Each structure stands twice: as structure tokens, then as C-alpha cells.
Structure 1
Amino acid sequence: MGGISFIRLLAGLILAAWAHAVFCADAPSAPERAAAEAHVLLLNSYGPGRVGIDSVTEAFVNRLHASGIPLEHIHVEYLHLNQPNADLVAQARRALLMAQYGGQRVDILLALQQPALNFAFDQLAELAPSAPLLTDSQPLSKQMAVNKRPIFHYPIVPDVGATVKEAMQLMPRTRRIVIPGGVSEADRAFQRQAEVDLAPWLRQLQVEFLQNMSWAEQMRYIANLTPDAVVVTGMFNRDRDGYTLPTIDAARDTMRAANVPVFSLFDTVVGEGAVGGAVRNLQQSGVELADHVMAILAGKQLAAAALTEVPAGPVQSMYDWRQLERWKIDPSLLPAASFVNRPPSLWQAYRGAMLGAIAIIALLAGLVLVLLSHWRRSA
């Protein structure tokens, strides 16, 4: 009996240890529980209805919610900073946001594009002053000089250099890169980054930024380019005359107007007239942005300095098969690329008919074998 009791006791201890291990493995840690209870405030520079920002925002919110943060804790604000007199109403916007969130819990702020980042520095320094700020834009040195909160930089910015490299692989006779653009804060931030990306190409290529023209002048200009030029869709929000347009619509204007191939920097316009490029997948960027938020809140991503860089995923080589055919570009030059609008193979196009034909042939072959077998027995 004593031996049986000991065995039962040992089995009970083993079962208890196993249950404890399973519970501990499944139970979230204290930082993870705190992250799931956090409040997140996302500041978008402009209004809704912009395909790129909407893609990022939707994927971001869905990922956070799937990670355990209630939708009621995910706050998205559109600052409309491209509207006329935006500077004049900045104080009113500040007062509204401070009234709405000043007395509320905010565990992390996000600012998408340069105008929202500038607004966060200039107008919202007192909002949750110890909460970290995650942004896709590069803070200015004067902003960092007075900053008191941890800043994390996640570069969603497109890789102009990678797209130009692929353009040169596909069209090696290219000598001019033409980039339409605007003069808003976000537009100028894009141009600064593009100039850095394209610096290695300046001995080989003539790079033209068109931001000093009105938008109408830019469209007329790219309609009359020489065959040695290609166009790269840039960032556009406002031209020198105050004309505003979402970047996606500016890209569509560009694709309609250009008389040479148009290369893209974002996946949202591949399939609408752009040849393609080394594009930034914006939904994936939204997912990555949310994952960085969760890592920061859970203490897995720590601030290494006043400005901490967090990685962005690689750009993706994506092309429109129809546009490649239109411009007589050989898609085999980029074997790793993915394609949209690619014609289906014979098997993909006629799979049902081919399977039906195979079935009929097999049935007829079976009948022939049966008849032959019957004929041999009769003979």
C-alpha cells in the first residue's frame, strides 16, 4: 500500500508540474498583459480616402486588435494638414486634441509623414510627455534638441534607388530619371531622401525633380519626354501654387500623361498603369508598424538612444505584365519579380476543359481495352 501511495503522490506531482508548465507557457507575461491594455494614438498627416495611408492604417489597426488591444484603445486622428490655412488652425487642433486626450491614458503616439511628426513636436509635446513616439519620418535636429520622449524611427519611405536600379536593368539605355513632386513638408522630405538614394547614380544619369513647376506644367513636361527618359512616381500633396492632390491621384495623373514608362514606388498603383518597381507593400508596412508598437509596449524593443531605429521590411519587386508588353520590356530580366495582370497559362485558362478531355480519353481507352479483351476471349 505504501508503494502505491508513493506512486500516486509522484504521479500527482508530475501532473501538477506539467499543468504549471503549460499554464506558464500559455499565460502572457506582465509586460505583455500591460501592452494589451495600452492606449495607442495614431496621428495621420492628412485626411482619410488616400489609398496608401488608408492601407497602412487599416492593416495597423487590424494587427493591433488581433494582438489583443481592444478597438476602443486604438485612436486614429486625421490632422488634415494639407488644407488651406492649416498653420492658422494649428492651435485650435492642439486645443481639441489636448481636450480629448490630455486627461486620458496614452501609452504610445505614432506620427505618419513629416507634417504629423512636426505637429507632434510643435503642438503636442505636453500630451503624455513620457510616452514614446513612433514615426516613419526623420525628426529634425532642432526637434531632437528639445525632445524629452523616446523616439523610434520606422522608415516606411520608398527606396527610389532600388527602383532606379531595376529600371536600369530593364532599360539600360535610360539616361534621364524624371520625378514629379510637390512642395509640402512630406513632399520635401521625400525629395531629400530620394536625393540620398540617387546619389550613386548621378554620374550615369540625369535626375530631374519637377517640384518647382505647377502640377499642370509637370504633366505637360512628362508628356513630351525623349525616349531615353523614364518617370518615377514621387510624393505629391501640394504644388507651388497651392493645388492639392492625394499622392495616389497624382500617380494616376502621371501614368496617364507620360509618354515613357512610369515606375512606381508603392504597390498601390501597380496594375493601374505603372510598369512597376521595387515597391513598398503598404499593408505589410501597417502590420510591421503594429508589431513594433507591441514590442515597444511590451518592453521587447527598448530605446537605445534619443532616436532609435527600428527595421522596415524589404521592398518587393512587382511589375504589371501588360505594361511590360506595352513598352516591349523583357520580364525575364527580373526573375525574382512578382507580376500582376499576367496572362494565364493554357492549363490555368482551360483546366476544366482539359480535365474533361482527359477523363473522356481515359474512358474511351478503358472501353477499347474491354472490347479487346472481349474480342480475344471470343476468338
Structure 2
Amino acid sequence: MMICRHLLLLLMLPLFSVFAAESDSAGRSVPAQVLLLLSYEPLFPAADNIVNTVQHALNRNPRHDITLHVEFMDSDLQATEEYFHAYAQLLRAKQQQGERYDLVIVAGDGALKLVAAEGREVVGQAPVVFLGVSDSELIRHVQSQGGYTGIYDALPVYEFMALMRYLYPGFQQLHVINDGLPRSAQRLLQLQQAADSLSQKLVVHSLATLSWQQLADELSELRGEPLLLLSAYQDADKQVKPLQKSNLFISNHSGSPLWSLSPFGIGDGLLGGVVTDMTDSAGQAADMALRILAGENPDRIAVDWHPANLTLIDAELAARAGFDHDDFPQKTTFVHEPPGFWQNYRNLFLLLLSVTVFFTSIGLFIWSEIRRRKFSDQQLDDRTELIKNILDSIPDIIFYKDRNGIYVFCNKQFVNLMGKDPVGHTDFDVFDQETAAFF
């Protein structure tokens, strides 16, 4: 009996540990701790979008009290083993100070490389959900370790090639701008593989060997051939231009409009492109995280190898380049669309509508007031006529005067007796002088 009791306690011990992880010593629910580790710097356009989308999705879920920790690696220019190791030490130090993670969401290749390289020493046994990762070999590597799932950031290179061939029929070369930094190497490789399979020639303008001005000189000669901006952050002289300034500089010096495989910059110097919907990917990653926090095994959640894509076009720049709306696929999303009739005249229409409603309201009020007064006057006339008929039927004489002695009313018997109607007259007009003086 004693042995059975010990075996039962041993079997129940894991259950007690699970409940202890979800409750504190007072039996209250402990918030789940989620780390969002981003490869980007805080000012990178994708970063803010991903953080807000994940935060909103986690807060929207009523079943979990979740605390989100956000870390920015800024690994685009620091993709060395030494940097990854130093950043891993930073994460370990935070955990030694009391931080713990029940789940980790990583965004970008650099963040997933850090977790994969440093292993469970960085995130413990927490499951990992990834998004924005374009390195398919890295994804397969971490999958083999178990505890990983997420969304592959597949560059829509074939869809982009199809769009370029439709918009530039018969073009010979696809020009590509690249800066040679590690973050763009994988993308250039995928683009080159797609171009080779389609027998499409690529001409790469690399800032690894060109200065900004030399790049501008080369691009100014382009006419009638598509130009894809893959990455442009720093030139051969190590001069850095942030994303917005880089896009504007290249678009202002290029003889052809700029296309992109990223949504960031379209509408801000870039004409458009076929891009991954990062908002959709971030929301999908957050949903995966919630499923795992609810108890689902991450290894049973399949990696999404085909994320949603969309064709995004700056309508204003497209019009300047000679493209019409009908030149693009039916489900194209446009930004900076020229205002239509409603946008142009909305304020005027609303003003006229307000004036019309105002004067209509005044007219209705006046009309209803006139009707009310007419109805009241009619009621007064009817009542006056009724009273007059009643007084005329009385056999006694009835009359009344105002303060000046002028007759205001008299009944029929008064008129019959006196022989005249006294209304509007005084006693001196009705009776002889002596009788009037007596009255």
C-alpha cells in the first residue's frame, strides 16, 4: 500500500509542477511571458508594424494574461558571430535578473540565427515562432531540433517577374540595386535562381563597389527597362543612407521607376511591386503563439511556406510613368490614388447638405407653427361662436363693456329690447342723454 502511494505521488508530480508554473503561491494566475525578438532596428518600418500587430493580437485574446517583452537586435549591419554571442549574453543577463520566457517570437533571419546558434541557453525550453525569415535552410535546421514553427518569408520573385513581363513586354534586362550586406544576400540568391530558371538576365548595380554618386550616374542612363531596388543602405565608401533617404535619392536620379519586393518605401519614392503582407504574417505568428500557449504542441503546427502576397502600387507614380489602373492585376492595392469626384467635392457637398438641412428645418418649423396657430385660432373661433349661441338663447339681457364704457358684447335679447346693436358704442349712443347719464 505504501509503495502504491509513493508511485501515485510520483505520477502526479508533473501535474503539480504544471499548475505551479501557471499560479503563484497565492493561487493567482501568473501572466505568460512572451519575448518578441526582432532582427531590425527600432526605426526600421517593419519593426513598428510587427510589434503593434503582435501586441494587438495577444491583447485581443481573452484566455491568457500575457506580458510582451520586445528586443531589437539591429543585426543587419552586425551579422557577425561575435555580435550574436554578445547579444546572447545580454539576453542571458536579463534572465539572470529574473526575466523568463514561456514563448519566443522571432522576426527576421538574424533573430532566428541567434536563437539557433546559441540554442536553449538563450530561450530555455520556450517554444519559438518565427516570421520574416527568408533562409529556408535555416528553417529546416531549427525544425529538426523541435519546438519551432512559423511563417517563411518567401520572396514572390516569380510573381514579380510575371508582373514585369506584363508591364514591360519584351524587355531584355532586369536591373537590380543591391548593397552587398548580409541581409540582402539571401534575397539576391533567390532572385538570381528565379531569373536563371526563366532565362532572364539580371544586371546588378552593387553599392559594395559603387559610391552613391556612381550609382546615380549609372541609373540615370536607364530607359524603358525595369529597375528593382533590393537593398540600398550603405555604399562602397561606408556612407549610410536611411531607408527613406535612400529611396528618394535613387528615385530622383533614376531614369526608370523603382520597383520593390518589400512594402516599405512603396508610396515614398518606390512605384510598387509584389510584396509579402507583413501585417498578415505577424498576425498569423501571433495566432500560432496563442495556440501554443493554450497547450498545443508547436511541432504539430505546420510551417506556412506560402505566406500571403499582394501587388502594391503607388497610383500617383504609376500615372507619371504612363501606367493606368487597368494595366495592373485586378486585386492590386493602390496608395496615393488621385482623388475622385467624391474626394474633390466632398466638403462642398457636405456644406450644401448642411445649409439645405438648416433651411429645411427652419421652413418646417415655420410651417408647423403657422398650422398650429391656424388650428388654435379656429378652435378659439369655434368656442367663441358656441358661447355666443349659448348667451343668445338666454331670455335675459346680457352685455359687458370695457373700462371706457364701450360695449364689447351683448346677447340677442339686448338687441331685441333696445332696438339696436350697442357693440362698439357707449350708453350715450344707445340711450337718450338723461338715461345714459343715469347709467
Question: Could you say which TM-score interval applies, normalised by the shorter chain?
Answer: 0.7 to 0.9
Matches within 5 A, 1:207-226: 207-211=202-206, 212-214=208-210, 216=212, 219-220=215-216, 222-226=218-222
Q: Using the alignment, how far apart are the partners of 1:166 and 1:255 within structure 2?
A: 20
Q: Which residue of 2 aligns with 1:165?
A: 162
Contact 1:180 1:233 (C-alpha < 8 Å) held by counterparts? yes
Q: 1:281 aligns with which of 258, 277, 283?
A: 277
CA shift at 1:142, angstroms? Answer: 11
Q: TM-score, with normalisation over the residues of structure 1?
A: 0.72
Contact 1:177 1:208 (C-alpha < 8 Å) held by counterparts? yes
Q: Using the alignment, how far apart are the partners of 1:108 and 1:250 within structure 2?
A: 36
Q: Which residue of 1 aligns with 2:173?
A: 176
Letter in 1 for 2:252: R
Change in 2 beyond 3 A, CA 1:314/1:141: closer
Letter in 2 for 1:289: A
Q: Which residue of 1 aligns with 2:345?
A: 350
Contact 1:235 1:247 (C-alpha < 8 Å) held by counterparts? no
Report whether the alignment pairs 1:66 with 2:63.
Answer: no
* The 10-residue stretch of structure 1 (36-45 or 258-267) with the greater mean CA deviation from structure 2: 36-45
Letter in 1 for 2:122: L
Q: Which residue of 2 aligns with 1:112?
A: 107
Report whether the alignment pairs 1:339 with 2:345.
Answer: no
Change in 2 beyond 3 A, CA 1:301/1:198: farther
Report whether the alignment pairs 1:126 with 2:121.
Answer: yes
Change in 2 beyond 3 A, CA 1:191/1:108: farther
Q: Which residue of 2 aligns with 1:94?
A: 88
Letter in 2 for 1:80: D
Deviations 1:198-245 (A, max 9, x none): 4443x2x32123344335266335523432421112134555665555
Contact 1:80 1:86 (C-alpha < 8 Å) held by counterparts? no
Change in 2 beyond 3 A, CA 1:247/1:112: farther
Q: 1:155 aligns with which of 139, 142, 152?
A: 152
Q: Which residue of 1 aligns with 2:36?
A: 42
Change in 2 beyond 3 A, CA 1:199/1:317: same
Q: Using the alignment, how far apart are the partners of 1:124 and 1:243 within structure 2?
A: 35
Residue segments in structure 2 that go unaligned for 5+ positions in a row: 1-18, 24-28, 361-439
Q: Which residue of 1 aligns with 2:404?
A: none
CA shift at 1:318, angstroms? Answer: 2.0
Letter in 1 for 2:274: A
Query: Helix, strand or coil: the match of 2:317?
Result: helix
Q: Using the alignment, how far apart are the partners of 2:285 and 2:333 within structure 1?
A: 24
Q: Using the alignment, how far apart are the partners of 1:288 and 1:188 within structure 2?
A: 26
Q: Using the alignment, how far apart are the partners of 2:190 and 2:127 within structure 1?
A: 24
CA shift at 1:119, angstroms? Answer: 1.7
How big is the alpha-carbon RMSD for the aligned residues of Structure 1 and Structure 2? 3.7
Matches within 5 A, 1:1-379: 37-68=31-62, 70=65, 73-83=67-77, 87-101=81-95, 104-135=99-130, 136-137=132-133, 138=135, 140=137, 144=141, 148-201=145-198, 203=199, 205-211=200-206, 212-214=208-210, 216=212, 219-220=215-216, 222-237=218-233, 242-247=238-243, 249-300=245-296, 302-304=298-300, 308-310=302-304, 313-334=307-328, 335-351=330-346, 353=348, 356=352
Size of the aligned set, in residue pairs, is 327
Structure showing greater radius of gyration is 2
Q: Using the alignment, how far apart are the partners of 2:30 and 2:285 within structure 1?
A: 16
Letter in 1 for 2:169: P
Q: Using the alignment, how far apart are the partners of 1:142 and 1:278 within structure 2?
A: 23
Query: Helix, strand or coil: the match of 1:259?
Result: coil
Q: Using the alignment, how far apart are the partners of 2:246 and 2:30 within structure 1?
A: 39
Q: Using the alignment, how far apart are the partners of 2:220 and 2:280 within structure 1?
A: 36
Query: Helix, strand or coil: the match of 2:105?
Result: strand
* The 10-residue stretch of structure 1 (136-145 or 108-117) with the greater mean CA deviation from structure 2: 136-145
Q: Using the alignment, how far apart are the partners of 2:218 and 2:347 within structure 1?
A: 46
Q: Using the alignment, how far apart are the partners of 1:86 and 1:169 within structure 2?
A: 41
Letter in 1 for 2:178: G
Q: Using the alignment, how far apart are the partners of 1:221 and 1:125 within structure 2?
A: 49
Q: Which residue of 2 aligns with 1:22?
A: none
CA shift at 1:36, angstroms? Answer: 9.5
Letter in 2 for 1:78: F
Change in 2 beyond 3 A, CA 1:147/1:100: farther
CA shift at 1:246, angstroms? Answer: 4.7
Letter in 2 for 1:283: T
Q: What's the % identity of the aligned pairs?
A: 19
Where in structure 1 do 4 or more consecutive aligned residues deviate above 6 Å? Answer: 33-36
* The 10-residue stretch of structure 1 (145-154 or 277-286) with the greater mean CA deviation from structure 2: 145-154
* The 10-residue stretch of structure 1 (167-176 or 141-150) with the greater mean CA deviation from structure 2: 141-150
CA shift at 1:143, angstroms? Answer: 8.7
Change in 2 beyond 3 A, CA 1:195/1:123: same
Contact 1:180 1:234 (C-alpha < 8 Å) held by counterparts? yes
CA shift at 1:62, angstroms? Answer: 2.3
Between 1 and 2, higher relative CO (CA 8 Å, sep ≥ 6) is seen in 1
Change in 2 beyond 3 A, CA 1:160/1:245: farther
CA shift at 1:326, angstroms? Answer: 1.0
Q: TM-score, with normalisation over the residues of structure 2?
A: 0.63
Contact 1:129 1:148 (C-alpha < 8 Å) held by counterparts? no
